[in-house]
Structure 1
Amino acid sequence: MKKLFIIAILSISCFTVKAQVKFGFKAAPQLSFNRFQSTGDTYEIESNGSSLKLLLGPTFDFPFRDNHYFSTGLFFSSKQAAFQASNVNTNRVEEESYDLQYLQVPLTLKLFTEEIGLDKKIYFQFGTTADFRLQGIISDDNLLNQVDFFDFTALLATGLEYRLGINTRIYAGFYYNRGFLNAVKETNIDEEWRLNNDTLGLELGVTF
C-alpha cells in the first residue's frame, strides 16, 4: 500500500511539472452512511445509521479554459460500514460496525462562474473518484469477513470561492459521494451481501 501511495504522488508530481497547476489543500468533515442489500433468505439487513468521519489531503487543479479546470488530488478518506442483520429463523439481531480507510483520487471537472461580488465566485464540481482501501476488515468471527480493495464513486460538489490575493484563494462548499461498487468481498455466511458507501461532507480549502 505504501508503494501505491508513492507511485500516485510521483505520477501527479511529474504531471504538475509539465503543466500550469493550482496547488491547494482541503479538509472536510463528512457523514458516512451505507446502502445494504442481501440476496439470501436468512438475514434481513439494513444500514445502521451514519458516522462523522474525515477527508483531507492536497488538491491539484489544471486549467484548460477560463474558469474551467481538471481537478484531482490525493485524499485520506475515512468511512464506515455499519449494519443491523436480523435472522428471520431465530429472530436474533446482530449489529456490526467497522472503520474503513481509503486513499481517494478524484477525476473531476471544476467550473467557476464569473465574479458574483468583489473577489467571489461560485464553483461546481462533478466527476468520479477512485478509492483504494488502506485498511479493511478480516474477521472470522463476525458476519462480514472482508471488504474489497477498490471502490468507485460519483462526486458532486458546489461552493463559494473567495480571493485573498493574486494567487491565494479560500473556499467552502458541500459535496456528495455516491458509491457505485459493492464493497463486500466476503462474508462468513452462505449469502451474498451488497454494500455501497456514500458520504456527505462540508469542504474547506485553500489554493495557491
Structure 2
Amino acid sequence: MEKVAVLTLILTLTAAVGESWGQQWQASTDEFATARVTERRFRKILGDDYKATVTDEKPLRKRKKKTSTDRAIDRAYQQSRDDAYPDYERPSHLIEMSVRFAPHATINRIEGSGNYLGFMQNGTALRPSVGVSLDYFFFKDRYAFSSGLWYTIKRVGYRIPGSYGETRWNPGAPAKYAVYNLQYVQIPMTVKLFANNLLPSSRLYIQTGGLLDVKLAEKALDPTRNVYHQVAQKEGTRRQFGFADVAWVLGGGLQYRLSQTNAINISLSYQRGLLDVARPRDLHVRNRVVALELGLKF
C-alpha cells in the first residue's frame, strides 16, 4: 500500500510540473508567433530595411501656438527673474530734466600767417557753464537722447609778437597779450548710454554727439593793454570772432540716486571745436574745452 501511495504522489507531481511547463512553452510560442506576425507586417509596409528607419526616439510633437494667457505667464516669469537681481531704479518718467554747473578750461589752438604771423596761445583759465539738460529715453531705460540749453563762456587768449601794431618792425620788442571772453548759448544734440547693472544705487554712462554754439557777445578784457583790441578799434573792426561754432563732445560720468526721482550727476567731458572762430582770414582759432560737470536730476 505504501508503494502504491508513493507512486501516486510521484505521478501527481509529474503531471503538475508538465502542465506548468506546457503553459510556459505555449505562452512563449504565442509570443514568438505574435512577434513573427508583427515583423511580417512591418516588413510588408516599410520594406526589408524597416529596422533602419525605426528608432527609439519619441516623435516630435507639433508646436503649440501660445495663447495670450501663456504670453502673460511668460512675461510674469521674466519680470520675476528681473526682480530677483538688484538693479538701478528705472526712470520714473520718459523725459528727465536736470540742472548743471560745469566749470571748464578752454584750450585754444592758434595758427597765424601774414599780418598775424607769430600769434600763439596765451595759457588757459577756468570759465563757467550753466544750464538745463533734457534726457529722452527712446529705448528701454538705458538709451537716451540728450539735449538742452547751456550758457557758456569761452576764453580766447593770444600771445602777440612785440612788433604787432607798431609802425616800425622791432624784433627785440617784448611780447604782447590779448584776452577775450566769448559768450555762447550751446545746444547739445547727444546720445547717452547707461550701464545699469554695476551698482544698485548708481550707474555709469557715456555721452557723445554734437554741440551747436551760437555766440551772444564777445568782450575784450583789459582794453587798455589789449593790443589786438586796440588795433581792431583803429581799423574800425567791431567783431573779431564769428557768430557760431560747432563742436564734437565726448564724456562719461556717474549718476548717483538720491531718491526715486532725484539723482546727482558727476561727469567729465571733452569738447573739440570744428570751426575757426576768428574772423580774419589769416588767423585760425579753434577751441578745445575740458569740463567737469555737476548736476541735479529731478
Corresponding residue of 1:181 = 275
Paired residue for 2:104, among 17, 20, 30? 30
The CA RMSD over aligned residues, in Å, is 2.1
Corresponding residue of 2:147 = 72
Matches within 5 A, 1:27-106: 27-40=101-114, 43-66=117-140, 67-86=142-161, 87=163, 89-91=169-171, 92=173, 93-106=175-188
Listed as ranges, the gaps of 5+ residues in structure 2 are: 1-92, 221-227
Per the alignment, in what secondary structure is the counterpart of residue 178 of structure 2? Answer: strand
Change (3 A) 1:73 1:198: same
Alpha-carbon distance between aligned partners in 1 of 2:128 and 2:275, rounded to the nearest angstrom: 21
Per the alignment, in what secondary structure is the counterpart of residue 165 of structure 1? Answer: coil
Matches within 5 A, 1:137-148: 141-142=230-231, 145-148=239-242
Alpha-carbon distance between aligned partners in 2 of 1:41 and 1:29, rounded to the nearest angstrom: 34
Q: CA deviation at 1:127?
A: 0.5
Listed as ranges, the gaps of 5+ residues in structure 1 are: 1-18
- Answer 1 or 2: higher relative contact order, Cα 8 Å, separation at least 6: 1
Question: When you count strand as a share of all residues, which structure comes out higher?
Answer: 1
Per the alignment, in what secondary structure is the counterpart of residue 142 of structure 1? Answer: helix
| Structure 1 stretch displaced more, 140-149 or 176-185 | 140-149
Change (3 A) 1:42 1:26: closer
Q: CA deviation at 1:37?
A: 0.8
Matches within 5 A, 1:109-188: 109-136=191-218, 141-142=230-231, 145-186=239-280
Per the alignment, in what secondary structure is the counterpart of residue 275 of structure 2? Answer: coil
| Structure 1 stretch displaced more, 171-180 or 35-44 | 35-44
Paired residue for 2:293, among 190, 203, 206? 203
Q: CA deviation at 1:46?
A: 1.0
Change (3 A) 1:25 1:140: closer
Alpha-carbon distance between aligned partners in 2 of 1:157 and 1:38, rounded to the nearest angstrom: 31
Identity among equivalent positions (%) equals 27
CA contact under 8 A between 2:178 and 2:229: conserved in structure 1? no
Alpha-carbon distance between aligned partners in 1 of 2:217 and 2:157, rounded to the nearest angstrom: 16
Amino acid at match of 2:295: G
Corresponding residue of 1:11 = none
Change (3 A) 1:43 1:94: farther
CA contact under 8 A between 2:115 and 2:282: conserved in structure 1? no
**Any idea what the Cα deviations from partners look like across 1:87-115, whole Å, max 9, x if unmatched?**
59532422110111100000000110123
Pair member with larger Rg: 2
Amino acid at match of 2:114: G
Task: Using structure 2 for the length normalisation, give the TM-score.
Answer: 0.58
Alpha-carbon distance between aligned partners in 2 of 1:25 and 1:74, rounded to the nearest angstrom: 10
Q: CA deviation at 1:41?
A: 6.5
Alpha-carbon distance between aligned partners in 1 of 2:130 and 2:231, rounded to the nearest angstrom: 30
**Any idea what the Cα deviations from partners look like across 1:130-156, whole Å, max 9, x if unmatched?**
000011258862369510010000101
Aligned length: 186
Corresponding residue of 2:189 = 107
Alpha-carbon distance between aligned partners in 2 of 1:149 and 1:20, rounded to the nearest angstrom: 34
Question: When you count helix as a share of all residues, which structure comes out higher?
Answer: 2
